[in-house]
């Protein structure tokens, strides 16, 4: 199974996100902020597919999910979706990183470490 992201069950998000990671100094917690610019879920044709109930990170190990999903509007039109996934322990961090490795491989993404 290829790693994918969904906001509406059964509808894969085709736009690749900008993902920013932060981690506590002791490594016990972390946050991933996803920003999708003009995602296909904002397309008028997806309205009939259902409601956005969260962000679902799906791979061969299962599903990671967050309900923290917000739309960014410019001049009254939705332009971006921002979602935050919180990792509350080292095991969740490791699981998230395994998902990101698979998602990156499937979509040709690269990791760039902050200075």
In a domain, 114, yes or no: no
In a domain, 57, yes or no: yes
DSSP at 46: G
Q: Count the domains in the chain.
A: 1
67 lies in which domain range?
4-103
Choose between 22 and 40: higher pLDDT: 22
In a domain, 111, yes or no: no
In a domain, 109, yes or no: no
pLDDT of the residue at 47: 61
In a domain, 77, yes or no: yes
CA-based end-to-end distance of the chain: 34
Average pLDDT score over residue span 69-88: 91
Average pLDDT, the chain: 89
Measured CA to CA, the distance from residue 106 to residue 103 in angstroms comes to 5
The pTM score is 0.89
Choose between 28 and 64: higher pLDDT: 64
Average pLDDT score over residue span 70-90: 91
Residue 45 has pLDDT above 70, yes or no: no
Residue 115 has pLDDT above 80, yes or no: no
Q: Give, in order, the Cα–Cα distances in Å from 97 to each of 23, 26, 37, 104.
A: 12, 17, 22, 10
CATH number at residue 80: 2.40.30.220
pLDDT of the residue at 76: 81
In a domain, 113, yes or no: no
Q: What is the DSSP string of 51-113?
A: ----EEEEETTEEEEE--EEEEEETTEEEEEEEEEEE-SHHHHHHHHHHHHHHHHHHT-----
pLDDT of the residue at 42: 76
Residue 101 has pLDDT above 90, yes or no: yes
């Amino acid at each position: 199974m290829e790693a994918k992201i969904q906001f509406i069950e059964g509808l894969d998000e085709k736009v690749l996100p900008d993902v920013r990671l932060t981690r506590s100094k002791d490594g016990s917690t972390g946050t991933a902020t996803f920003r999708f610019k003009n995602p296909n879920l904002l397309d008028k044709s997806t309205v009939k597919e259902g409601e956005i109930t969260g962000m679902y990170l799906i791979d061969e190990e299962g599903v990671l999910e967050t309900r923290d999903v917000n739309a960014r509007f410019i001049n009254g039109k939705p332009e971006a979706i921002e979602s935050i996934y919180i990792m509350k322990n080292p095991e969740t961090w490791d699981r998230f990183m395994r998902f990101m490795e698979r998602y990156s491989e499937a979509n040709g993404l690269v990791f760039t470490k902050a200075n």
